[in-house]
Structure 1
Amino acid sequence: MELGNKERSLVSKVMDGLISGIVEERYGAILPPQDVLSKEFDVSRTVMREALSMLLARHMLDVRPKIGTRIRPMRDWRMIDEDVVNWRFRAKPDNTFLRDVIEFRGSIEPAACALAAERANAADIAGIRDAFEALRQIDVNDPGFQTADALLHTRILAASGNQFYQQMAAIMRGALSLVNPIINAREGGWENVLAAHERVVDAIERRAPKEAEAAARAMIEFTAEELSHAFAPNALPHHEQPLEQR
């Protein structure tokens, strides 16, 4: 039976609630039975079943006989799905995930910047420059900061002309939402990244693909170095340090 607008809205709310419970580790490894979840969210079994099926389709859950609905490791989640990207980046980052984020950016951004320098038309370049100037003028604590930074990166990916890179924009936005607060908390971190952004934009405007690629790679390498310092054991409060470091 096809769900109406009200039921679809409820499904979305239930999915959001389930995701919050998963990333906050409230459920453990196995979700409660559907009847229990339906009561918890005060929805019908039909709505709950639909919400769970949506998460199953995104490789986030796994139903096993005599075991129940198992929560799959986050590394198995279908990251190409924009909703999954947003949900995955809600979870507290770990060192492996941060590594994977940096490796992803290192694989995509430098090549995309080089292609943008080769392929972008005048309107693309004007849009990239406008996005950079808006980013330059906004404070890192402004609510619109993250959106401004994401817009610049999204426009560069679009200007690459590569449809696969263009579809990586959701993951890129998630990556930025994760690393920016960490970089901004480091002394001089954002100033260095902003200068690197400017070198990328200048190279794209000058149609210098090798320079654009090198500037993007240097920016990502700087980010990786700052993250390694931020997450070094001696950078953590004493109670959060690994036991062997105390």
Structure 2
Amino acid sequence: MEQGKDRSLVSKVMDGLVSGIVEEKYGAILPPQDVLSKEFDVSRTVMREALSMLLARDMLDVRPKVGTRIRPMRDWRMIDEDVVNWRFRAKPDPQFMRDVIEFRMLIEPRAAAQAASRASVSEVASIREAFEVFKTLAPGDAGYQAADELLHTRIVHASGNQFFQQMAAIIRGALSATHPMLSQKPGAWEISVRTHERLVEAVERRDPKEAEAAALAVIDFAADEISREFSVEMPNRR
């Protein structure tokens, strides 16, 4: 089998295994490798490599006389973009959604403030460009979620902080998790456009304090809805 084709097959098996894990198909322990190989119709070599990739991401744990145990999602290596995407496939729970909001509150307001101070002219223009696309779309429209994620990603990248930039994948995942519940709220689209416009204008004016406050206002809206949806106490905004 050609190397490129082999790598593609490993990725496909990984994706299938993750789907089974987040859908709780396997329970706490994965079936033996030979059983999984037959299930996915691949060689043991391909299955072994796919499992090793999940092991490296702290998603699995091999124990003698026990087998391959599925680790709790809180232990998964969230800095890995693939793991982020996989984690957000699972049904959200109150603690997870609370943690998502806490993460956004820590990262996005500070990133927005830094973007207002550090962004280049072209980066500011790209943020405005992303917003102009975003405001023409409504929840449910094709491309709405992608436009929202692009806007947030560009602001984070404009912060110039390489650690914040590495966290953009988690922010995109957080947005994808909250979109369904926010889109159902009456008036949500108007509020979203208004709060995002405030944020973009603050970056354009090079006003770090206002950019930070505006980013927090964007997150507050999501936090309020999550608090009601999951009956969970959200972190203090200030």
* Range class of TM-score, shorter chain: over 0.9
Which structure exhibits the higher relative contact order, with contacts defined as CA atoms closer than 8 Å and separated by 6 or more residues? 2
How far residue 81 of structure 1 moved from its aligned partner, in angstroms, is: 0.3
How far residue 229 of structure 1 moved from its aligned partner, in angstroms, is: 1.6
* 1:44 lines up with 2:39 in the alignment: no
Aligned residues: 232
3-state SS, counterpart of residue 137 of structure 1: coil
RMSD value, Cα: 1.3
Who is 2:128 aligned against?
A: 129
- Separation in 2 of the partners of 1:231 and 1:89? 16
2:212 is matched by which residue type in structure 1?
Answer: E
Who is 1:158 aligned against?
A: 157
Who is 1:120 aligned against?
A: 119
- Separation in 2 of the partners of 1:4 and 1:161? 37
How far residue 190 of structure 1 moved from its aligned partner, in angstroms, is: 2.8
3-state SS, counterpart of residue 70 of structure 1: strand
Who is 2:224 aligned against?
A: 225
Q: Is the 8 A contact 2:127 2:200 kept in 1?
A: yes
- Separation in 2 of the partners of 1:142 and 1:218? 24
TM-score scaled by length of structure 1: 0.92
Q: Judging changes above 3 Å, is the alpha-carbon distance between structure 1 residues 155 and 162 closer, same or farther for their aligned structure 2 residues?
A: same
Who is 2:54 aligned against?
A: 55
1:126 is matched by which residue type in structure 2?
Answer: A
Who is 2:12 aligned against?
A: 13
Q: Is the 8 A contact 2:131 2:151 kept in 1?
A: yes
* 1:64 lines up with 2:63 in the alignment: yes
> Which string of whole-angstrom CA distances, capped at 9 and with x for unpartnered residues, describes residues 171-216 of structure 1?
1111110011111111222321221111100101111100010111
The sequence identity of aligned pairs, in percent, is 70
- Separation in 1 of the partners of 2:177 and 2:135? 20
TM-score scaled by length of structure 2: 0.95
Who is 2:144 aligned against?
A: 145
Q: Is the 8 A contact 1:189 1:226 kept in 2?
A: no
5+ residue gaps, structure 1, are 234-246
